[in-house]
């Protein structure tokens, strides 16, 4: 898939149904919790969870509670509302990752929802030795900071805070020009996403990279049973023995499903 593609925001119909669909997904998530929490226990490694644009730790609490129940040490980012990479948020993320890593000297997995996923990947590039794996949920990896406001329904809100951002996303304009991630990376995306274009969420082809499709809304991505199963499966991958998810898709071309 070429980086010259001009991505367009999803249809208004998908956008207008986001809240209703997310509410349904949250109820399905609650109903599925007993089954989700009853699986094999995790290995206890630290997992940092980053919220999406204009969201905070409250939005990631259900997912973090599930991870705790399954034996992982799940952590909030503790940086309040995510308004993008301000100096405070940038430095706070780095400090938070370093603190979690230093607690037992083991790499940390990072889960990022939407904009949180973009931050997670840049954090992994800044400190690859501290990161075990990266999982992004509905994150438009292929949109650059100077993308048109028509590229997603979140673009206007993001650009509102650009004057306060440090140049974390600046420099290379495309994902192809950025430093490749050296750890396993899973991009979870949905063709039913009503906020960002699903095709912009597809990671590039490469070792230790995969795209996994779900049937979730953007606002419900972090509280969807299908997404939770994928996250738990990916976090359970042994260090050095990573295998693609059973239903993962090709990163490029018509193989994405």
In three-state form (DSSP H/G/I as H, E/B as E, the rest C), the secondary structure along 17-73 is CHHHHHHHHHHHHHHHHHHHHCCCCCCCCEEEEECCCCCCHHHHHHHHHHHHHCCCE
123 against 177, higher pLDDT: 123
Domain assignment of residue 148, yes or no: yes
- Provide mean pLDDT across the span 158-185: 85
Q: Any idea which of 99-108, 158-167, 199-208, 239-248 has the lowest mean pLDDT?
A: 239-248
pLDDT of residue 246: 84
pLDDT of residue 238: 93
Residue 96 is part of a domain; what is its CATH number? 3.40.50.1820
pLDDT of residue 171: 63
pLDDT above 60 for 251: no
Residue 51 contacts by C-beta under 8 Å, 6 or more apart in sequence? 57, 59, 60, 77, 82, 113, 116
pLDDT of residue 247: 64
pLDDT above 50 for 66: yes
Domain assignment of residue 154, yes or no: yes
pLDDT above 60 for 253: no
The number of domains in the chain is 1
167 against 223, higher pLDDT: 223
Domain assignment of residue 77, yes or no: yes
- Provide mean pLDDT across the span 108-116: 98
pLDDT above 80 for 202: yes
pLDDT of residue 72: 98
Domain assignment of residue 181, yes or no: yes
Q: Which of 48, 66, 230 is nearest to 127 (CA)?
A: 48
148 against 74, higher pLDDT: 74
Domain assignment of residue 5, yes or no: no
Domain assignment of residue 205, yes or no: yes
User: Binning pLDDT at 50, 70 and 90, where does residue 256 land?
Assistant: very low
pLDDT above 90 for 145: no
Q: Give the domain range for residue 69.
A: 12-255
Q: Any idea which of 17-31, 174-188, 193-207 has the lowest mean pLDDT?
A: 174-188
Domain assignment of residue 7, yes or no: no
Q: Any idea which of 75-84, 92-101, 150-159 has the lowest mean pLDDT?
A: 150-159
pLDDT above 70 for 159: yes
pLDDT above 50 for 63: yes
Return mean pLDDT, the chain. Answer: 91
- Whether the CB-CB separation of 227 and 204 falls below 8 Å is answered with no
pLDDT above 50 for 207: yes
Percent of all residues in the chain with a pLDDT value above 70, rounded to a whole number = 92
């Amino acid at each position: 898939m070429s980086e010259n593609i001009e991505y367009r925001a999803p249809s208004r119909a998908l956008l207008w149904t986001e809240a209703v669909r997310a509410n349904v997904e949250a109820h399905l998530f609650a109903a599925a919790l007993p089954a989700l929490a009853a699986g094999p226990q995790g290995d206890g490694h630290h997992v940092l969870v980053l919220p999406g644009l204009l969201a905070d730790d409250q939005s990631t609490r259900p997912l973090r509670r599930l991870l705790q129940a399954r034996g992982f040490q799940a952590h909030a980012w503790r940086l309040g509302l995510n308004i993008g990479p301000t100096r405070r948020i940038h430095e706070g993320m780095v400090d938070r990752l370093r603190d979690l890593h230093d607690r037992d000297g083991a790499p940390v997995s990072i889960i990022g929802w939407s904009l949180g996923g973009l931050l997670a990947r840049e954090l992994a590039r800044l400190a690859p030795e501290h990161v075990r794996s990266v999982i992004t949920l509905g994150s438009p990896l292929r949109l650059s900071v100077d993308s048109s406001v028509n590229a997603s329904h979140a673009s206007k809100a993001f650009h509102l805070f650009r004057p306060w951002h440090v140049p974390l996303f600046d420099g290379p304009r495309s994902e192809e020009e950025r430093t490749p991630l050296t750890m396993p990376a899973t991009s979870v995306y949905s063709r039913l996403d009503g906020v960002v274009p699903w095709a912009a969420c597809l990671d590039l082809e490469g070792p230790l990279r995969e795209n996994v499709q779900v049937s979730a809304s953007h606002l419900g991505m972090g509280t969807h049973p299908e997404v939770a199963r994928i996250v738990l499966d990916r976090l359970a991958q042994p260090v050095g023995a990573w295998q693609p998810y059973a239903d993962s898709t090709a990163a490029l071309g018509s193989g994405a499903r």
